[in-house]
Amino acid sequence: MKKVTKYAIIAQEKCNGCKTCYAICPVLAIRMENKKATIIGDRCLGCSNCEQRCPEYAITIVPLEKPFWVGLDVNKFDQLKIMELCTKAKFHPDQVICFCTGSRAGEIAAAIIDGAKTPEDISLKTGVRTGCKVLCIEPVLRLLQAAGIEPRKPDGYQWTGITATLWELSEEVKNKYGSRGFYFDADREFLEGNLAYESKKGGK
Amino acid sequence: MSKPVLKPMEPRATQYGIPPESLKKRAAELRGMTSLLVKELFPETPDPIYPGSELSAIREEAKRALNHVDFSKIKPSDTVNILGSHHGFTLLGGGPYAEMLRTIKDEVAARTGTKNIRLRVGVGLRFRESEEYIKRFELDKYFDGKAMGIAPVDQPITIETEVGPLYGIKKAYDAKWFIHAHNSDMREIHFHRLVDRILKPFGMSYARIETRSAYHHNLGPRGANFIARAIFESPFIKEKFIASVILRTSPIGILGVDADNNLYDQSDRTTIEIMRHYGKLIRILNKIDKCIAVIDCPGPIPYTFAAGLIFANFLSANVDVFDLSLPLTPYSFYSEMSYDQTGKPRFPGVPPINPAIGAVVNNYSFKGYPSTFFAEHTPTIVVGQELARLFELCEQNSEYMSHAVIAKDLDNAMNFARKIAQTDNVIVFDGAQGGVNVSESLREFLLKKAGQVRKEVEETLMPTWLKQRGIKLKRPEPHAKSMN
């Protein structure tokens, strides 16, 4: 759940039409019109990505008079389905996956159950990927994959693809590097132990 | 006898902070404050070449180190990227790192004949930070208009690795060759666990969001930095890599420059050096049983400095962060994800944020790093409405102030902190050089603990730390002068 406190404004006269903002907006809130970037209605969730990368400094971020919340009430969704999806993706529903918004895996699963098919859909429903814009893309992709969804890529470079987890490392890789301080199997056991501990408690 | 306080790092004009003129009082100006030099605690800490001399000493040292580096692959018509990170600019005002970067450029140009040398500087979570440093040190001019900041949301390039595709920033690798230019202070041991510490930028500063996210979610609390090694081991990177140049630090300054064509040899040397110089310092912080921590430094909260350590190190100082038998450190993103909605650990064995921190006074720091967790787990007092508003409007911290209170000024904040923490011990993270500003009581306490800590680290802990990482203590150190 994210508290949205600000939004972007584009100074059209400064925009050079480079499409950088369009290519990186995590909620697809920017469209190109007559070779100028324009914010689409009230879709902006104030992440500052566009403002931080605009080469012309054409974008400013201004405070909202009335901040609002974006997020889902996990309790309104089928808890068993949430647990199944999270477990398949090797997350616990209560595990934080976005350190900026505090969003947990269960909320992302709820967004998928609610019809989200892409990381952008999930961001619009939950606010994840609109804080630092960096750290939570892989959990989002892992949960979509667990739901059997192959998300359609946007017309930009908002994200590329899913990457390996501890559960996919080959024995060859582990043997090759294990003596240099990487505790692959122990970390995997540790993470799995946490999931098992929650299950033993009956989960949530 | 009381020692004068050390000069705190100057506030800096930046889009990520409040204006310097808004900072009314520094913690070093508080009544009862004194200082403690690292040399008083551990006289064996080697003397730095900077501060204490001009920046030309950095240039001389960099040239000496680079003399051992083979640049023969680089032809006069080739392009070369020097890859830097914002971290280097946060050390001692940034001048030494900037001078090292300039020297690398000059040496490569002089010895290879190429004029096409570019500077690419990565960032953390403040995407224009490196642009600010490039401007401040006029590096764009020095690099003939070929210096730029790069961010993890910039255009990607796919890097095939032994663990599948990972993603780099295209601009980082858009030259035929590159030189890795980093720094060796211990910094984020909660993330890298001092395993391949100097390789971290391959998984972070030079990497796209997917790679960074994998680092913090997919590989586990001790294996995260394997992402960096996986990228460095890829044929794509191996083909382009020329050398690594490291600004060698101790908690009191710059020790020199280490340059090598072999990154792993250099990594082992650096790991040993970090353990020696930072190990004792962080272990002595472990002995503090109660204090107030004051954040008062131009940097995001976890990256504010005291005696060369960062505040994040202190958050985890209640455990031995070097010890790889401990899966979790008290602070890391893997630790953050181990708490439930009520702030309680979700399973047994999650080490708490250092309980010695009775209160945190945030007098001056930057936005642009997810910090709500810190305020959730330590009583936090923010000085002044302007700083509070900075955090309220930060997209990474919109809930930080929901867990903190606001004091009108620093004196009121400290009075309240003393009531909460029930202690007069104060430690200040203000970026002072050579030591740390502390209260009289804490100075005396720490001085008494130094001997015990030295013995503990040298005789017991360090052999364990090295063994866990597969590093033997004695190995050739051909390119490093006075590595101790």
As a whole-number percent, the residues of chain A with pLDDT over 90 amount to: 91
Predicted pLDDT at B483: 43
Question: What integer pLDDT is reported at residue B1 of this predicted model?
Answer: 58
pLDDT tens column, B219-238 = 999 999 999 999 999 999 99
Please check the confidence at residue B399 and state whether its pLDDT lies above 50: yes
Q: Do A182 and B127 count as a contact with CB atoms less than 8 A apart?
A: no
- The CA angle B118-B123-B125, to the nearest 5 degrees, is 160
Rounded Cα gap, residues A118 and A112, in angstroms: 9
**Domain regions of chain B by residue span:** 20-45+287-450, 56-250
Contact B327 A166 (CB under 8 A): no
Q: Say if residues A126 and A111 touch (Cβ distance below 8 Å).
A: yes
Residues counted in chain A: 204
Using a CB-CB cut-off of 8 Å, the residues of chain A touching B264 are none
Q: Per residue in B96-142, pLDDT tens?
A: 999 999 999 999 999 999 999 999 999 999 999 999 999 999 999 99
- Residue B357, strand partner residues: B291
> Given pLDDT bands bounded at 50, 70 and 90, which one contains residue B472?
confident
Rounded distance between C-alpha atoms, residue B132 and residue B160, angstroms = 32
Per the CB < 8 Å rule, is B213 touching A184? Answer: no
Decide if B299 contacts B366 (C-beta within 8 A): yes
- How many Cβ pairs within 8 Å bridge chains A and B? 189
Between the CA of residue B301 and those of A53, B311, B361, what are the distances in Å?
Answer: 23, 7, 11
State the average pLDDT for chain A.
95
CB contact under 8 A, A135 and B217: yes
Interface test with B, best of A183, A189, A195 (most B CBs within 10 A): A183
Contact list in B for residue A97 (CB cut-off 8 A) is 217, 337
Interface-testing mutation among A44, A180, A204, with chain B (most B C-beta atoms within 10 A): A180
Spatial separation of the C-alpha atoms in residues A61 and A59, rounded to whole Å: 7
Peptide bond into B352 cis (omega under 30): no
**Candidate from B155, B225, B336 with C-beta closest to A99:** B336
What percent of chain B has a predicted confidence (pLDDT) above 70? 98
Nearest CA to B214 out of B333, B93, B51 is that of: B333
Q: Taking residues B446-469, what's their average pLDDT?
A: 96
pLDDT at B413: 98
Summarize pLDDT for A54-75 with one digit per residue, the tens. 999 999 999 999 999 999 999 9
B154 contacts on A by Cβ (under 8 Å): 53
Comparing alpha-carbon positions, the chain B residue that sits nearest to A5 is: B393
The 10 Å Cβ neighbour count of residue B19 is 10
Q: What does the alpha-carbon distance between residue B195 and residue B312 come to, in Å, rounded to a whole number? A: 17
To the nearest whole Å, the CA of A103 is away from the closest chain B CA by: 10
Torsion angle in degrees (nearest 10) through CA of B198, B204, B205, B207: 130
What does the pLDDT read at residue A201? 57
Q: How close B57 gets to chain A, by Cα (Å)?
A: 35
**Burial class (CB within 10 angstroms; exposed 0-12, middle 13-18, buried 19+) of B287:** middle
Q: Give chain A's domains with CATH numbers.
A: 2-69 (3.30.70.20), 164-204 (no CATH)
CA nearest to B155, candidates B176, B178, B181, B174? B174
Interface probe with B: pick from A135, A173, A185, most Cβ of B within 10 Å: A135
Say how many Å lie between the first and final Cα of chain A, rounded.
Answer: 18
Q: Are A181 and B324 a contacting pair at CB < 8 A? A: yes
What digits encode the pLDDT tens for the residues A73-127? Answer: 999 999 999 999 999 999 999 999 999 999 999 999 999 999 999 999 999 999 9
pLDDT band for position A200 (50/70/90)?
Answer: low
Residue A194: predicted pLDDT: 77
Residue contact B470–A181, C-beta within 8 A: yes
Q: What is the largest CA-CA distance in chain B?
A: 66
Task: Residue B462: count other Cβ atoms within 10 Å of its Cβ.
Answer: 18
Q: CB–CB of A133 and B164 under 8 A?
A: no
- CA neighbor of B303 nearest in space, from B55, B90, B18: B90
**Cβ-based neighbours of B212, under 8 Å, separated by 6 or more:** A134, A135, B152, B203, B204
Nearest partner of B199 among B458, B431, B461, B469, judged by Cα? B469
Q: How close does chain A come to B83, measured CA to CA in Å?
A: 19
pLDDT digits (tens, 9 = 90+) for B331-372: 999 999 999 999 999 999 999 999 999 999 999 999 999 999
Chain A residue whose CA is closest to B194: A181
Q: Which CATH architecture has domain B56-250?
A: 3-Layer(aba) Sandwich (3.40)
Asked whether residue A52 carries a pLDDT value surpassing 70, the answer given is yes
First to last CA, chain B: 32
Q: What pLDDT sits at residue B2?
A: 76
pLDDT of residue A193: 79
* Token pair in block for residue B88: 């280097």
Separation in Å, CA of A107 to nearest CA in chain B: 12
Smallest Cα distance from B439 to chain A, Å: 33
Taking the CA atoms of residue B62, residue B65, residue B70 and residue B71 in that order, the dihedral angle to the nearest 10 degrees is 10
Q: Is A203 exposed, middle or buried (0-12, 13-18, 19+ CB in 10 A)?
A: middle
Q: Quote the ipTM score.
A: 0.97
What is the distance in angstroms between the Cα of B435 and the nearest Cα belonging to chain A?
31
Instruction: Answer with the residue of higher pLDDT: B296 or B473.
Output: B296
pLDDT in tens, B6-28: 999 999 999 999 999 999 999 99
User: B166: nearest CA in chain A?
Assistant: A163
What number is the average pLDDT over the span B186-193? 97
The yes-or-no verdict on residue A198 having pLDDT over 90 is no
Confidence of residue B182 (pLDDT cuts 50, 70, 90): very high
- Closest residue in B to A156 (Cα) is B155
Cα A86 from Cα B237, distance rounded (Å): 35
Contact in structure between A33 and A117 (CB atoms under 8 Å) = no
Whole-angstrom Cα distance, residue B383 to residue B365? 10
Q: Which of B350, B351, B352, B402 is nearest to B372 (CA)?
A: B402
State the best of B208, B396, B467 to mutate against chain A, taking most chain A CBs within 10 Å: B396
Q: How far is A140 from chain B (nearest CA, A)?
A: 10
- The alpha-carbon gap from A83 to the nearest alpha carbon of chain B, in Å, equals 15
CB contact under 8 A, A164 and B470: no
Taking CA atoms, B216 is separated from A96, B126, B354, in Å, by: 12, 17, 21
Please report which confidence band the pLDDT of residue A197 belongs to, taking 50, 70 and 90 as the band edges: low
Residue A204 has pLDDT above 80, yes or no: no
Chain-centroid distance of CA B462 in Å reads 21
